[in-house]
Structure 1
Amino acid sequence: MSGIAIVGLDCAFPGAPDAEAYWELLMRGGESVGEVPPQRWEADELPDSVPESARAGINRGGFVAGADGFDNDFFALSPREAAAMDPQQRLLLQCAWRALEDSGQAPGALAGTDTGVFIGVMGGEWGRLRMGDPSRVTPQLGAGSAAGMTANRISYHLNLTGPSLAVDTACSSSLVAVHLAANALLAGECDTALAGGVNLVLTPALGLMYSQLGLGSPDGRCKPFSADADGIGRSDGLGLVVLRRLEDAVADGQRIYAVIRGSAVNQDGRSNGVTAPNRWSQQKVLEAAYRRAGVTADKITFVEAHGTGTALGDAIECAALGGVHAVPREKTCAVGSVKGNIGHTEGAAGIAGLIKVALALHHRIVPASRHADRENAQLRLAERGLRLLKSPMRLPAGEILAGVSSIGMGGTNAHMVLAGPPRTPRRAARPAGETEPVGVFTVTGDTPDALRRNLADQAEAFARRPRGGAASLGFSSNRVKTGLPYRFAVAARDTTELAERLRQAAAHGIDASTPAHRSWTRPVVAFVYTGQGTQYPAMTAGLYRDSAAYRHFLGEADAALTRHTGRSARESILRGDEAGYDAGDAQTALFAVGYALTRTLGELGVRPAAVLGHSLGEYAAAVAAGVLDLPQAAELVAARARLMRNLPAGGGMLAVGAGPEALAELLAAEPTLALAAVNSPADTVISGPLDALDRAAAQLAGRGLRTRRLDVARAFHSPLMTPVATGLRELADGLRPAAPRLPMASTRYGRLLHDEPLDAAYWAGQATEPVLFGAALTALATEVAPTHLVEIGPRPTLLPLARRAGLAPGTEHLHPVPGPEADGRQLAELVATLYRAGLDPEWAALYPAEYRTVERLRPYVFSSENRYWSRRDDRAVTPAAPVERPVAPVPAPVAAPAPAADDPVLAAVIEAVVTVGLYQPDRIVPATRFYEDLGFDSVMIMQLKDVVQEALPHLGEVSIRQLLPALRTVGSLADFLRELALARVS
């Protein structure tokens, strides 16, 4: 296996704001050329020397909508820096994020990796517009105008440490950038690469040059290979592809659009002019690319040509293509050029063609070539083995090879050979009647508004899809749509349900029903394990059906128990008859369920910070805490079950709605009864012979106290359990338990364990002494402070009790199998809840293996609220938009907001921050962080220092070294400056 896989892409072209719209434009044969927006230049700005016949073409072209919009807050860039940046840099930052998402990974997951960035960019119109006036030059403008920063910005803001470079070979820049990226991958310089290019038409200058060279189209449209071809029409465009070595992409299960089999770059050398194309060099670059790809020309099905629509350029390119492709072949080679749809995107021309070919191979159909209906007969396409597509061409089964050409004015030529993606086995259809697994769909945003915006966008996308399963979509979102601070997650079984739940969340915003909030810490989860009496027929059967992890761990527990019981706990758990459980089967079954649930949650990344077990539940809790291993616990539980099964019948338990002090007189009068459990100050259980319990129930009812007979067949936690205690003591005499690895609250002692061993004496006493659940849970809540209580058992009993009694207040209560109807949905919802609270789950364990595939999701929707655009005279700046202002040497002061007026130091700091970054004053509060929220860098810190010193002259000189430790928040800097002033006065 060899080659470079295209695993992700994103783009924006005229009339096509994303890859989906781009493909739709190509398939319908659309064209997106129009009048120049007044934001760029006015039609009357052209010199008088420009002929009238050329003016229309220069003032028309393809323009990306909303090119002035930029979500600077997302990238922690100040308004001042955003306004100074070349809009090409701004658009590429957003494009890079979306392309990485499209590759099936959260962009933040690549931070610190050797991912490379290779950007083709032609010319520097922004710099020429902005840097010509020395009085306007600022550090931000200098960095914002540099071509090299188009790549470096991406590497910096995404913290990518691989090669990062800009390439300018004129119109072939972006394809050359992809060529360099592929070679860097093959050389091992990086393991992932972002490659592509950008072009924004900001001035009419290049259009004037085309006109003077006789290359400009009078109507601003490119008509490649057409009899009507009359020149170049300029256009905006940007696109990026994510590249990986093919074997790595396959190993990681990434979706592959196409595979780069080989590429070549060469130069015309000294030909008939530095700007003139050279047929023989173009032919040689084709031959070199095919040679490196290990293919012959007759195997190429179609070629995306450079195809500018100039008479000379088309003629030379077709001659070069014909020189290679006019060989014996079954079918002629289809040829076309996307410039007929979107115009000539110059530095982004190569990536426009590459993405078109990758999408064609992915969809297995080649769009028709616009303007093919009037083919230029002088090009002699047929005799050269070439043809224009007048309608879309379906690609046959088997491997398909295609070529992409890009030719730079100046003589740098590039050609690339692509193949379709490797075949992957189709996921088998689920048997009829079998339900789809539940997935958890995640969405994150950098602000609450961003989260709502993206929830709505995803909901709309799923609403348009046919109804289908949601599991693989959930898995995809878990890999891609995570990492930003504001989180949302929802469990869903199909796309219809998913769309509705996302829509509801977007509409209702962030409230109690959709607790999507910024989580600064991980949740603190405590597990509480139920005891006997919670069993029922076929308990956890739904989860067993839906969760492979639960099936596996229940099998582990069953095997460990069967060695000592000779009977299957799993069978007794899953059987659906009404035979019920005897005293022995119930205990082994409940222990197995507790163990399997604990391990299943652990596989999902839900691990307890503390545990508590109620009576029998202490055995599973001890395993979770590392006190006992599974074989030790299974042997003890099996022995306990056997000993209790052998006890004579006749005992029972009675729950009473009162505290133990209210039962003291009754227990003294009935010496055969014992206090069995104190679950809360008003919830007690007594245990003993049935006749004594009947007398007690009648007496308590007469006092107006609530009583309820428990569904048990023995008098647990009473002196009647003494034979069990004796047997456990003898069996566990040699037991050497480990110290707990995490806090364990003992319901025997009613507190957290310290140095007490859970040895034979402990388990013997635990069988006869009262269960002090209320005290134990109170101690756990006090000392561990859990944010979430998760009950481990087949149905909720402890959580309702804790809620009624007010135990562990402030915690959220969760249960993975809350009753007989539970299945995989409740487990998924528990994980979704904890994810919203800050947990980062191990998502793969939630899904069957065949659903762990990455599907394409809608890309991140950035805010378009902030607009940054400036012409030479600033006339086109939107009134509400931030305006670039001169900085000499630091920005002019801006008035401080009123809230800080009573604190002159804080007011001065806020004023300085607003001045340096051009932030809205009401946005700056004491808790605002300099680096994470405001994007401060070394240049801004220097400017901040100067402004602060000027505003607070009594401080004197403050060094950067002194300032740096205080630059955590606006408030921390104000505190430091206040203390510094006091120290210098004293």
Structure 2
Amino acid sequence: MGDIAIVGIDCAFPGAAGVQAYWDLLMRGGAGTGPVPAQRWEAREFPAVCGNGGFIDDADVFDSDFFSVTPREAAAMDPHHRLLLPCAWRALEDSGRAPGELAGTETGVFVGVMGGEWGRLTMSDLARVTPLLGAGSSAGMAANRISYHFNFTGPSLAVDTACSSSLVAVHLAASSLLTGECDTALAGGANIVLSPSLGLVYEQLGLAAPDGRCKPFSADADGIGRSDGVGLVVLRRLEDALADGQRIYAVLRGSAVNQDGRSNGVIAPNRWSQQRVLGSAYRRAGVTPDRVAFVEAHGTGTVLGDAIECAALGAVHGVPRDTPCAIGSVKGNLGHTEGAAGIAGLIKTALALHHRIVPASLFADRENPRLRLGERGLRLLKSPMRLPRGESLAGVSSFGMGGTNAHALLATAPRTPLAAGARTAPARDAVGVFTVTGDTPDALRRNLAAQAEAVARRPRGGAAALCWSSNRVKTGLPHRFAVTVRDTGELADALREAAERPETAAGAARPWGRPVVAFLFTGQGTEHPGMTARLHRESPAYRRHLDEADAALAPYLGTSVRELILGGDERVHRSEFAQPALFAVGYALARTLTTLGVTPAAVLGHSLGEYAAAVTAGALGLDEAARLVVRRGELMSDLPRGGGMIAVAAGPDDLAEMRAREPGTVVAALNGPADTVLSGPLDALARITKDLTARGVRVRRLPVAHAFHSPLLAPAAAELRTAAVRCAPPAVPLASTRYGRMLRHEPMDADYWADQIEEPVLMDTALGALVSDIAPTHLIEIGPRSQLLQIAARGGRAPGVEFLHPAPGEDASGRDLADTLAALHRCGLDPFWEELYAPGHRVAEPLPPYVFSTAHRYGHRQPPHAAPQQPAPPPPPAPAPLRAVPSPADEDRAGSAPGACGRAADDPVLLAVVEAVTEVGGYPRERVVREARFHEDLGFDSVMIMQLKNRVEARLPRVGEVSVQQLLPALCSVGTLAEFLGEVIMVRSA
């Protein structure tokens, strides 16, 4: 059998809500048993067998909005299903993956359940039977609901082999992984004690413990105490888990399932079958029993069951060995979780191997002498047992009441060698972006608070690995928060502030689409010694892409432009070096952003910036652009000095008279309606500057050595015009500052680049064309200083557009780059986060699981035909959690404010639809707003749509009968359905 890695765990057991709470309960030797909760049944009705047991706190709580389940359907669902859905979400998060990433994949779901008590309780009254109850009481739906809500397409099945159900589910999941049916599998089980009926059966069989507690292998053992429990593990093939760098709790080395056959009774255990299933599991794993350090036994605490199991364990493990095999049973802590018993034992064992310590067994101090443990090579642990270095092995047994037995062999996780890039210690002050998402603003605040509390408990230190882990796990839900930090103290403060003052958290708003980004590449004049040096130190991606540009430029420049830039060389101000240096920085910044997932919808380059823009757009290759840029710089550097440039806060018409008096001056750039650059001889520019300053017009001399974009550059343009240029049509729309419009069919050939040297830069009209063409939400400046964003702001060409700069000045660092990503993520971008971090920071760190809402309760004894009583959440309704990107229809509605259902009083058709939706879904009336979407927000399925159709037709007789095919296109939202029905009435009334 191949090895299977356990990479994620979630569970809830009596007295232990969550994995850490479960481990704490085991290590302190705690017990989760107690009296029957009032909402189950009255304990006084059956005091002999049902006064105590193990019960999960708040087992009736279910965040139905998160899973887009209507209140009426949630009330009809088997409580096992309601427990399993959030458990699956948290287990997948614990595996280091955002659950939404697995949507559409062949992920398998294998769930152990036992009995079918909910169906017996709800389906016996035939007058109350509904389709929702039919689906809600099906055992198979325990797995199918997970597959449906998470959009998994792999095997999905429920297993009922009584008490061994969940361990059999794990065995089947491992087999499915090994045969290639799925690459990831969720496996486990759930059990809720809904009625005293099975307890009465145990009593009549003489198996019920009077105090409701299991006492496995104890002299006081007197029967079974029933309990709740839910647990799921995420399984992957070991080689896949290692390749993806996932944390591995333990490795499933082998498992086996068999049956007692015709033995001494259908519900009696069989020693020989138990021995055989252990031996079979060890053979499949290629392991001899003497290597097994401990066994998590079935151990129910019945006299006969314990005796038979110990005899079987002794026969297998009682081989000559230096140390007796330790045995125990978690049922002493929890009670018998029945269908979830196997997964309770498996999770305990996986955690013991992970922590390398086996918890002590309850009741070990009163060992049953009749079990003869010592002579059988077995022992109970009176104190925790530390596991030695190296591989340790442990077995897990689970036996079904009907004779189906399962055994699994687990091993400690293998030591993994460090990747080549992770061998050096990463910087502790490295920057990262910590992300949190929620399905509603309230959920986002809840989860911000939970993350803040967890981070605050950590020792202060670097936060990059935590940030990387959050990017992998805490993304995908519609309401987003992202903050750039360097250490855990800063992170805890930021999370706490955002949770306490949500209006300050940009992530509190839901993005209704992805950002539309344009890159603006700066030209000469923004260079400075040491530009982007700190960013180069802190960003692996930027280092890599600056190296690419340096390698392309070096054959033509004859030196390393990277060393020139990073060394703070003053030669960077000379044209022959400034232009290649700026090109290298622009190219590296743009490639860094695209590598991180920021894909421009259009590009624009200002003068020299057009070369990097052309490469980014695909119009020039990197090598071709490098050759041209070096030649351009050389040609300009060879020109005689004496020219200059000034930026004037005035329009070209306002300067026409002055230019006429100074014939050597020309307009070099039209950056905005009142933003003009003049170029020409220095003395002429000085006179113009003096005149304008006297009039109160702002003038600024630009730090250049030549009169760029003027006839003085004609010799350089003529030389460049003779170059052979390999170019292609841009693959990304390009706004040409040479033509002042979007580039259409004109090639960026030698003539283009020659004209570009001496003709004016038409920035204002080019930017206007870009904004009109793609309607950007964000403009990102690409260069070592902020220049073009200021021009865009002054010109007013991009109202409402957010400006970003990943390297805004001399102190630009990895934080500025990260801030750019964080801002775009808050607005809907899902970056390729990996490239933001050094390999040494790509280490999985545990994060608290998602905190679901506790506002809705669905009592186990509630009449299933009625919707539950619960507080009505404010409109608008919660969106579907697994759908982070809205449809075009969603985006069309995004600008409209949520409509109150009270407005339906003025629209009888809308009122009828609202009432029908309220009745079918069981929602509070305030919840059914015009913008509520049937599938994503209200959780309607095909059955409910049919019920809605019938109710709408009954309320609106003038509609007549409408076919489902006619209805489907209108089922976007409550409002679109009302509009459609209104049109039908008008047509049929005409």
Cα distance in 2 between the residues matched to 1:831 and 1:574: 24
Residues 326-354 of structure 1: CA deviation (Å, up to 9, x unaligned): 11112111111111111110110000000
Where does residue 52 of structure 1 map in the other structure?
A: none
Where does residue 894 of structure 2 map in the other structure?
A: none
Q: TM-score of the superposition, structure 2-length normalised?
A: 0.95
Structure 2: which amino acid aligns with 1:940? M
Which moved further from structure 2: 419-428 or 203-212? 419-428
1:10 and 2:10 equivalent?
yes
Structure 1: which amino acid aligns with 2:68? A
Cα distance in 1 between the residues matched to 2:369 and 2:812: 71
Conserved 8 A contact 1:335-1:388: yes
- Pick one of 77, 83, 88 that aligns with 1:85: 77
Tell me how far 1:878 sits from its aligned partner. 7.4
- Pick one of 657, 682, 707 that aligns with 1:690: 682
1:149 and 2:141 equivalent?
yes
Residues 686-712 of structure 1: CA deviation (Å, up to 9, x unaligned): 122222222222121122211121111
Structure 1 spans left out of the alignment, 5+ residues = 47-54, 883-895
Cα distance in 1 between the residues matched to 2:869 and 2:702: 74
Alpha carbons of 1:87 and 1:543: their partners in 2 closer, same or farther (altered >3 Å)? same
Cα distance in 1 between the residues matched to 2:503 and 2:731: 37
1:926-965 equivalences in 2 (<5 Å): 926-965=930-969
Cα distance in 1 between the residues matched to 2:426 and 2:436: 30
Conserved 8 A contact 2:855-2:871: no
- Pick one of 531, 553, 576 that aligns with 1:561: 553
1:685 counterpart SS class: strand
Cα distance in 2 between the residues matched to 1:114 and 1:433: 36
Which moved further from structure 2: 442-451 or 5-14? 442-451
Tell me how far 1:971 sits from its aligned partner. 1.4
Cα distance in 2 between the residues matched to 1:738 and 1:270: 79
Conserved 8 A contact 1:870-1:876: no
Where does residue 418 of structure 1 map in the other structure?
A: 410
Where does residue 517 of structure 1 map in the other structure?
A: 509
Cα distance in 2 between the residues matched to 1:600 and 1:633: 18
Cα distance in 1 between the residues matched to 2:677 and 2:863: 84
Cα distance in 2 between the residues matched to 1:414 and 1:175: 6
Residues 839-879 of structure 1: CA deviation (Å, up to 9, x unaligned): 12122211222322333221111111111114166899975
Q: TM-score of the superposition, structure 1-length normalised?
A: 0.95
Q: Provide runs of 4+ in structure 1 moved above 3 Å.
A: 426-436, 577-580, 872-882
Structure 2 spans left out of the alignment, 5+ residues = 873-899
- Pick one of 710, 714, 721 that aligns with 2:706: 714
Where does residue 632 of structure 1 map in the other structure?
A: 624
Cα distance in 1 between the residues matched to 2:681 and 2:902: 76
2:646 counterpart SS class: strand
User: Number of residues paired by the alignment?
Assistant: 962
- Pick one of 753, 774, 777 that aligns with 2:743: 753
Conserved 8 A contact 2:596-2:832: yes
Cα distance in 2 between the residues matched to 1:876 and 1:680: 65
Alpha carbons of 1:265 and 1:881: their partners in 2 closer, same or farther (altered >3 Å)? farther
1:22 counterpart SS class: helix
Where does residue 767 of structure 1 map in the other structure?
A: 757
Where does residue 472 of structure 1 map in the other structure?
A: 465
Which moved further from structure 2: 619-628 or 395-404? 619-628
Conserved 8 A contact 1:614-1:771: yes
Cα distance in 1 between the residues matched to 2:837 and 2:426: 19
1:167-316 equivalences in 2 (<5 Å): 167-316=159-308
Where does residue 49 of structure 1 map in the other structure?
A: none
- Pick one of 327, 344, 349 that aligns with 2:336: 344
1:915 and 2:919 equivalent?
yes
Where does residue 602 of structure 2 map in the other structure?
A: 610
Tell me how far 1:837 sits from its aligned partner. 1.0
Tell me how far 1:510 sits from its aligned partner. 4.5
1:976 and 2:980 equivalent?
yes
1:859 and 2:849 equivalent?
yes
Where does residue 133 of structure 1 map in the other structure?
A: 125
1:620 and 2:612 equivalent?
yes
1:319 and 2:302 equivalent?
no
Tell me how far 1:431 sits from its aligned partner. 6.9
Structure 1: which amino acid aligns with 2:430? P
Where does residue 719 of structure 2 map in the other structure?
A: 727
Conserved 8 A contact 1:130-1:872: no
Tell me how far 1:189 sits from its aligned partner. 2.2
Tell me how far 1:607 sits from its aligned partner. 1.4
1:848-927 equivalences in 2 (<5 Å): 848-871=838-861, 879-880=869-870, 897-927=901-931
Alpha carbons of 1:80 and 1:434: their partners in 2 closer, same or farther (altered >3 Å)? closer
Alpha carbons of 1:21 and 1:875: their partners in 2 closer, same or farther (altered >3 Å)? farther
Conserved 8 A contact 1:39-1:876: no
Cα distance in 2 between the residues matched to 1:90 and 1:774: 58
Tell me how far 1:472 sits from its aligned partner. 2.2
- Pick one of 525, 528, 531 that aligns with 1:536: 528
Where does residue 827 of structure 2 map in the other structure?
A: 837
- Pick one of 802, 809, 812 that aligns with 1:819: 809
Where does residue 967 of structure 1 map in the other structure?
A: 971
Cα distance in 1 between the residues matched to 2:657 and 2:970: 66
Conserved 8 A contact 2:479-2:507: no
1:901 counterpart SS class: helix
Conserved 8 A contact 2:88-2:232: yes
Tell me how far 1:42 sits from its aligned partner. 0.8
Where does residue 546 of structure 1 map in the other structure?
A: 538
Tell me how far 1:953 sits from its aligned partner. 1.3
Conserved 8 A contact 2:624-2:726: no
Where does residue 598 of structure 1 map in the other structure?
A: 590
Alpha carbons of 1:246 and 1:410: their partners in 2 closer, same or farther (altered >3 Å)? same
Cα distance in 2 between the residues matched to 1:899 and 1:700: 60
Tell me how far 1:263 sits from its aligned partner. 1.1
Conserved 8 A contact 1:275-1:410: yes
Provide the aligned C-alpha RMSD in A. Answer: 1.9
2:506 counterpart SS class: coil
Where does residue 378 of structure 1 map in the other structure?
A: 370
Cα distance in 2 between the residues matched to 1:897 and 1:841: 38
2:93 counterpart SS class: helix
Cα distance in 2 between the residues matched to 1:42 and 1:221: 19
Where does residue 890 of structure 1 map in the other structure?
A: none
Alpha carbons of 1:433 and 1:934: their partners in 2 closer, same or farther (altered >3 Å)? closer
Which moved further from structure 2: 866-875 or 473-482? 866-875
Alpha carbons of 1:581 and 1:772: their partners in 2 closer, same or farther (altered >3 Å)? same
Alpha carbons of 1:782 and 1:878: their partners in 2 closer, same or farther (altered >3 Å)? closer
Tell me how far 1:97 sits from its aligned partner. 1.2
Alpha carbons of 1:176 and 1:416: their partners in 2 closer, same or farther (altered >3 Å)? same
Structure 2: which amino acid aligns with 1:837? C
1:654 counterpart SS class: strand
Cα distance in 1 between the residues matched to 2:426 and 2:275: 59
Alpha carbons of 1:684 and 1:876: their partners in 2 closer, same or farther (altered >3 Å)? closer
Cα distance in 2 between the residues matched to 1:716 and 1:927: 56
Residues 900-955 of structure 1: CA deviation (Å, up to 9, x unaligned): 01111111011100010011111112221111111111211111111111101122
Where does residue 889 of structure 2 map in the other structure?
A: none
- Pick one of 476, 481, 495 that aligns with 2:488: 495
Where does residue 768 of structure 2 map in the other structure?
A: 778
Conserved 8 A contact 1:869-1:877: no
Conserved 8 A contact 1:216-1:230: yes
- Pick one of 450, 472, 482 that aligns with 2:475: 482
1:680 and 2:693 equivalent?
no
- Pick one of 794, 804, 816 that aligns with 2:794: 804
Structure 2: which amino acid aligns with 1:26? L
Tell me how far 1:232 sits from its aligned partner. 1.1
